[in-house]
Protein backbone atom coordinates (compact mmCIF):
# COMPACT_ATOMS: atom_id res chain seq x y z
CA UNK A 1 0.00 0.00 0.00
CA UNK A 2 1.46 3.37 -0.91
CA UNK A 3 1.71 6.01 1.71
CA UNK A 4 0.27 9.47 1.22
CA UNK A 5 3.49 10.81 2.78
CA UNK A 6 5.41 9.57 -0.26
CA UNK A 7 4.09 12.59 -2.06
CA UNK A 8 6.35 14.63 0.16
CA UNK A 9 9.13 13.47 -2.20
CA UNK A 10 7.63 15.72 -4.83
CA UNK A 11 7.34 19.11 -3.15
CA UNK A 12 6.63 20.90 -6.43
CA UNK A 13 3.89 18.58 -7.45
CA UNK A 14 1.86 18.17 -4.30
CA UNK A 15 -1.20 19.78 -5.83
CA UNK A 16 -0.95 17.75 -9.01
CA UNK A 17 -2.81 14.57 -9.68
CA UNK A 18 -0.64 11.47 -10.06
CA UNK A 19 -1.89 9.40 -12.98
CA UNK A 20 -0.84 6.03 -14.35
CA UNK A 21 -2.70 5.23 -17.58
CA UNK A 22 -2.48 2.01 -19.59
CA UNK A 23 -2.78 2.20 -23.35
CA UNK A 24 -3.75 -1.27 -24.47
CA UNK A 25 -3.56 -0.22 -28.14
CA UNK A 26 -4.98 -2.73 -30.64
CA UNK A 27 -4.61 -5.69 -28.30
CA UNK A 28 -6.92 -8.05 -26.41
CA UNK A 29 -10.19 -9.54 -27.62
CA UNK A 30 -13.31 -9.21 -25.49
CA UNK A 31 -12.47 -12.11 -23.15
CA UNK A 32 -8.84 -11.05 -22.78
CA UNK A 33 -9.96 -7.49 -22.04
CA UNK A 34 -12.42 -8.70 -19.42
CA UNK A 35 -9.78 -10.86 -17.74
CA UNK A 36 -7.13 -8.13 -17.73
CA UNK A 37 -9.57 -5.51 -16.44
CA UNK A 38 -10.70 -7.85 -13.66
CA UNK A 39 -7.13 -8.51 -12.59
CA UNK A 40 -6.16 -4.82 -12.71
CA UNK A 41 -9.28 -3.86 -10.73
CA UNK A 42 -8.50 -6.37 -7.97
CA UNK A 43 -4.87 -5.26 -7.69
CA UNK A 44 -5.68 -1.54 -7.75
CA UNK A 45 -8.32 -2.00 -5.08
CA UNK A 46 -5.96 -3.98 -2.85
CA UNK A 47 -2.68 -2.16 -3.37
CA UNK A 48 -2.82 1.27 -4.97
CA UNK A 49 -3.20 4.41 -2.90
CA UNK A 50 -6.34 6.41 -3.57
CA UNK A 51 -4.05 9.34 -4.40
CA UNK A 52 -2.95 7.69 -7.62
CA UNK A 53 -5.49 7.77 -10.44
CA UNK A 54 -5.26 4.69 -12.61
CA UNK A 55 -6.76 4.55 -16.10
CA UNK A 56 -7.13 1.68 -18.56
CA UNK A 57 -7.68 2.36 -22.27
CA UNK A 58 -8.95 -0.71 -24.15
CA UNK A 59 -9.98 -0.96 -27.80
CA UNK A 60 -13.28 0.91 -28.26
CA UNK A 61 -15.44 -2.18 -28.88
CA UNK A 62 -14.36 -3.49 -25.47
CA UNK A 63 -15.03 -0.30 -23.50
CA UNK A 64 -18.36 -1.43 -22.06
CA UNK A 65 -16.99 -4.81 -21.05
CA UNK A 66 -14.08 -3.19 -19.24
CA UNK A 67 -16.38 -0.57 -17.68
CA UNK A 68 -18.39 -3.35 -16.03
CA UNK A 69 -15.24 -5.01 -14.63
CA UNK A 70 -13.73 -1.87 -13.10
CA UNK A 71 -16.98 -0.46 -11.78
CA UNK A 72 -16.74 0.47 -8.12
CA UNK A 73 -12.95 0.83 -7.94
CA UNK A 74 -12.68 4.50 -6.97
CA UNK A 75 -9.30 5.33 -8.47
CA UNK A 76 -9.56 3.20 -11.60
CA UNK A 77 -11.12 4.95 -14.58
CA UNK A 78 -11.94 3.99 -18.13
CA UNK A 79 -10.11 5.68 -20.98
CA UNK A 80 -10.59 5.66 -24.75
CA UNK A 81 -7.73 5.66 -27.23
CA UNK A 82 -9.29 8.12 -29.63
CA UNK A 83 -12.30 10.36 -30.27
CA UNK A 84 -13.80 12.06 -33.30
CA UNK A 85 -14.59 15.79 -33.01
CA UNK A 86 -18.17 15.56 -34.40
CA UNK A 87 -20.94 14.34 -32.14
CA UNK A 88 -22.84 12.33 -34.77
CA UNK A 89 -23.56 12.11 -38.47
CA UNK A 90 -22.07 10.64 -41.63
CA UNK A 91 -18.60 9.82 -40.28
CA UNK A 92 -18.30 6.12 -40.95
CA UNK A 93 -16.12 4.24 -38.52
CA UNK A 94 -15.70 7.01 -35.99
CA UNK A 95 -16.69 7.25 -32.31
CA UNK A 96 -17.82 10.51 -30.71
CA UNK A 97 -17.31 12.04 -27.29
CA UNK A 98 -21.00 11.72 -26.27
CA UNK A 99 -20.92 8.00 -27.14
CA UNK A 100 -17.71 7.50 -25.15
CA UNK A 101 -19.22 9.35 -22.22
CA UNK A 102 -22.31 7.13 -22.35
CA UNK A 103 -20.07 4.04 -22.32
CA UNK A 104 -18.54 5.16 -19.03
CA UNK A 105 -15.35 6.73 -20.38
CA UNK A 106 -13.67 9.41 -18.27
CA UNK A 107 -10.35 9.94 -20.07
CA UNK A 108 -9.39 9.98 -23.73
CA UNK A 109 -5.97 9.79 -25.39
CA UNK A 110 -5.59 12.49 -28.02
CA UNK A 111 -2.67 12.85 -30.40
CA UNK A 112 -0.83 9.62 -29.69
CA UNK A 113 2.17 9.47 -32.02
CA UNK A 114 0.70 6.41 -33.74
CA UNK A 115 -2.44 8.45 -34.62
CA UNK A 116 -0.28 11.32 -35.80
CA UNK A 117 1.91 9.05 -37.92
CA UNK A 118 -0.49 6.45 -39.36
CA UNK A 119 -3.63 8.58 -39.56
CA UNK A 120 -2.00 11.92 -40.38
CA UNK A 121 -3.60 13.71 -37.46
CA UNK A 122 -2.51 17.35 -37.43
CA UNK A 123 -2.21 19.65 -34.44
CA UNK A 124 -5.21 21.58 -35.80
CA UNK A 125 -7.39 18.46 -35.98
CA UNK A 126 -6.24 17.41 -32.51
CA UNK A 127 -7.32 20.81 -31.19
CA UNK A 128 -10.85 20.00 -32.38
CA UNK A 129 -10.73 16.62 -30.63
CA UNK A 130 -9.59 18.21 -27.38
CA UNK A 131 -12.51 20.64 -27.49
CA UNK A 132 -15.00 17.87 -28.27
CA UNK A 133 -13.73 15.81 -25.34
CA UNK A 134 -13.88 18.74 -22.94
CA UNK A 135 -17.42 19.61 -24.06
CA UNK A 136 -18.51 16.17 -22.82
CA UNK A 137 -16.56 16.37 -19.57
CA UNK A 138 -13.95 13.84 -20.71
CA UNK A 139 -10.35 14.44 -19.62
CA UNK A 140 -8.11 14.75 -22.68
CA UNK A 141 -4.72 13.10 -22.25
CA UNK A 142 -2.87 15.11 -24.86
CA UNK A 143 0.16 13.23 -26.21
CA UNK A 144 3.19 15.00 -27.59
CA UNK A 145 6.78 14.10 -28.34
CA UNK A 146 9.62 14.36 -30.79
CA UNK A 147 11.37 11.99 -33.19
CA UNK A 148 14.97 10.92 -32.69
CA UNK A 149 16.04 13.12 -35.64
CA UNK A 150 14.43 16.15 -34.03
CA UNK A 151 16.20 15.45 -30.75
CA UNK A 152 19.52 14.89 -32.45
CA UNK A 153 19.21 18.13 -34.39
CA UNK A 154 18.32 20.04 -31.24
CA UNK A 155 14.82 21.20 -32.25
CA UNK A 156 12.99 18.89 -29.80
CA UNK A 157 12.03 21.50 -27.22
CA UNK A 158 10.62 23.89 -29.82
CA UNK A 159 8.86 21.09 -31.64
CA UNK A 160 7.05 19.73 -28.58
CA UNK A 161 6.19 23.22 -27.37
CA UNK A 162 4.63 23.92 -30.77
CA UNK A 163 2.46 20.81 -30.42
CA UNK A 164 1.02 22.27 -27.22
CA UNK A 165 0.68 25.77 -28.66
CA UNK A 166 -1.13 24.61 -31.78
CA UNK A 167 -3.52 22.14 -30.17
CA UNK A 168 -4.16 23.54 -26.70
CA UNK A 169 -3.49 27.25 -26.42
CA UNK A 170 -6.84 28.24 -27.87
CA UNK A 171 -8.47 26.86 -24.74
CA UNK A 172 -9.75 29.05 -21.95
CA UNK A 173 -7.83 28.77 -18.71
CA UNK A 174 -10.73 26.87 -17.14
CA UNK A 175 -10.64 24.30 -19.95
CA UNK A 176 -6.86 24.03 -20.09
CA UNK A 177 -6.82 23.12 -16.42
CA UNK A 178 -8.78 19.96 -17.22
CA UNK A 179 -6.17 18.69 -19.71
CA UNK A 180 -3.50 16.13 -18.87
CA UNK A 181 -0.30 16.18 -20.95
CA UNK A 182 1.64 13.02 -21.82
CA UNK A 183 5.18 13.56 -23.06
CA UNK A 184 6.13 10.54 -25.15
CA UNK A 185 9.38 10.75 -27.10
CA UNK A 186 8.61 8.75 -30.24
CA UNK A 187 12.02 7.08 -30.15
CA UNK A 188 11.12 5.56 -26.78
CA UNK A 189 7.65 4.22 -27.63
CA UNK A 190 7.58 0.45 -27.94
CA UNK A 191 11.34 0.35 -28.54
CA UNK A 192 12.55 -0.70 -25.11
CA UNK A 193 14.63 2.49 -25.05
CA UNK A 194 13.47 4.76 -22.24
CA UNK A 195 14.30 8.42 -21.98
CA UNK A 196 16.63 8.86 -19.02
CA UNK A 197 14.94 10.35 -15.99
CA UNK A 198 17.02 13.50 -16.58
CA UNK A 199 15.86 13.75 -20.19
CA UNK A 200 12.25 13.31 -19.07
CA UNK A 201 12.60 15.87 -16.30
CA UNK A 202 14.26 18.35 -18.64
CA UNK A 203 11.43 18.17 -21.19
CA UNK A 204 8.69 18.16 -18.54
CA UNK A 205 10.17 21.32 -17.00
CA UNK A 206 10.38 22.99 -20.43
CA UNK A 207 6.73 22.13 -21.04
CA UNK A 208 5.64 23.31 -17.59
CA UNK A 209 7.45 26.62 -18.15
CA UNK A 210 5.80 26.87 -21.56
CA UNK A 211 2.37 26.38 -19.96
CA UNK A 212 3.26 28.99 -17.34
CA UNK A 213 4.14 31.51 -20.05
CA UNK A 214 0.62 31.15 -21.48
CA UNK A 215 -1.64 30.37 -18.50
CA UNK A 216 0.46 31.43 -15.51
CA UNK A 217 2.50 29.55 -12.91
CA UNK A 218 -0.46 28.42 -10.84
CA UNK A 219 -2.06 26.63 -13.80
CA UNK A 220 1.30 25.18 -14.85
CA UNK A 221 1.89 23.87 -11.35
CA UNK A 222 -1.48 22.15 -11.33
CA UNK A 223 -1.06 20.48 -14.76
CA UNK A 224 -0.23 16.77 -14.66
CA UNK A 225 2.50 15.88 -17.15
CA UNK A 226 2.93 12.14 -17.65
CA UNK A 227 5.91 10.38 -19.18
CA UNK A 228 5.42 7.64 -21.77
CA UNK A 229 7.88 5.45 -23.64
CA UNK A 230 9.04 1.99 -22.52
CA UNK A 231 8.15 2.74 -18.90
CA UNK A 232 8.20 -0.46 -16.83
CA UNK A 233 8.46 -1.53 -13.19
CA UNK A 234 12.27 -1.42 -13.33
CA UNK A 235 12.52 2.23 -14.41
CA UNK A 236 9.29 3.80 -13.13
CA UNK A 237 10.66 4.69 -9.71
CA UNK A 238 13.48 6.75 -11.13
CA UNK A 239 11.24 8.48 -13.66
CA UNK A 240 8.49 9.21 -11.13
CA UNK A 241 11.09 10.47 -8.68
CA UNK A 242 11.61 13.56 -10.81
CA UNK A 243 9.74 16.64 -9.64
CA UNK A 244 7.98 17.42 -12.92
CA UNK A 245 7.01 13.83 -13.80
CA UNK A 246 3.47 13.25 -12.55
CA UNK A 247 2.94 9.68 -13.65
CA UNK A 248 3.05 7.61 -16.79
CA UNK A 249 1.29 6.58 -19.96
CA UNK A 250 2.16 2.92 -20.27
CA UNK A 251 1.91 0.83 -23.43
CA UNK A 252 3.42 -2.66 -23.45
CA UNK A 253 3.77 -3.00 -19.68
CA UNK A 254 0.08 -2.19 -19.15
CA UNK A 255 -0.88 -5.48 -20.81
CA UNK A 256 0.29 -7.35 -17.70
CA UNK A 257 -1.75 -6.42 -14.64
CA UNK A 258 1.08 -7.08 -12.21
CA UNK A 259 3.56 -4.91 -14.13
CA UNK A 260 1.03 -2.13 -14.61
CA UNK A 261 0.21 -1.98 -10.93
CA UNK A 262 3.86 -2.33 -9.92
CA UNK A 263 4.55 0.79 -11.99
CA UNK A 264 1.91 2.65 -9.97
CA UNK A 265 3.48 1.37 -6.77
CA UNK A 266 6.76 2.98 -7.77
CA UNK A 267 5.87 6.32 -6.24
C1 LIG B 1 2.48 4.29 -25.62
O2 LIG B 1 2.18 3.76 -26.67
O3 LIG B 1 1.82 5.26 -25.20
C4 LIG B 1 3.65 3.78 -24.90
C5 LIG B 1 4.18 4.52 -23.97
O6 LIG B 1 4.11 2.54 -25.26
P7 LIG B 1 5.30 1.69 -24.56
O8 LIG B 1 5.14 1.85 -23.09
O9 LIG B 1 5.08 0.31 -25.04
O10 LIG B 1 6.58 2.30 -25.04
Phi, psi of 181 (to 5 degrees): -105, 140
Full set of structural domains in the chain with CATH: 5-264 (3.20.20.70)
User: What is the structure's pLDDT at 158?
Assistant: 98
Would residue 184 show up in a list of annotated catalytic residues for this protein? Answer: yes
> Does 111 sit in the ligand 1 pocket, CB within 6 Å?
no
Is there a catalytic annotation at residue 166?
no
Mutate to test the pocket of ligand 1, among 55, 194, 231, 239 (most ligand atoms within 8 A of CB): 231
25 CA to middle of ligand 1, Å? 9
Rounded to the nearest angstrom, the distance between the alpha carbon of 252 and the centre of ligand 1 is 6
DSSP string computed for 124-140: HHHHHHHHHHHHTT-EE
Residue 237 φ then ψ, to 5°:
-60, -45
Length of the chain: 267
Question: Using CB atoms within 10 A of its CB, is residue 257 exposed (0-12), middle (13-18) or buried (19+)?
Answer: buried
Out of 109, 181, 192, 251, mutate this one to test ligand 1's pocket (max ligand atoms within 8 Å of CB): namely: 251
For the CA of 228, the nearest atom of ligand 1: 5
Q: Residue 11: count other Cβ atoms within 10 Å of its Cβ.
A: 8
Distant-in-sequence, close-in-space partners of 139: CB < 8 Å, separation ≥ 6: 106, 107, 108, 133, 178, 179, 180
**What pLDDT does residue 215 have?**
98
Tens-binned pLDDT, residue by residue, of the chain (267 aa) = 333 333 333 444 457 999 999 999 999 999 999 999 999 999 999 999 999 999 999 999 999 999 999 999 999 999 999 999 999 999 999 999 999 999 999 999 999 999 999 999 999 999 999 999 999 999 999 999 999 999 999 999 999 999 999 999 999 999 999 999 999 999 999 898 889 999 999 999 999 999 999 999 999 999 999 999 999 999 999 999 999 999 999 999 999 999 999 999 997
Write down the pLDDT at residue 15. 76
Check pocket membership of 259 for ligand 1, CB cut-off 6 A: no
The whole-angstrom distance between residue 95's C-alpha and the CA centroid of its chain comes to 19
Amino acid sequence: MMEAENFGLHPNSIMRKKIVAGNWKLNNNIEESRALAKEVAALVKAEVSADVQMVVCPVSVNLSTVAAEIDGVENLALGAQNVYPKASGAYTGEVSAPLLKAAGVGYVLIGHSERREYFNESNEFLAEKVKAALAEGLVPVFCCGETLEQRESGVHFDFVKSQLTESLYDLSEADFKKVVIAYEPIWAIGTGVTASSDQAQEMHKVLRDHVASKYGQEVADSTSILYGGSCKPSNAKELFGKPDVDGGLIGGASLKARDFVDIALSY
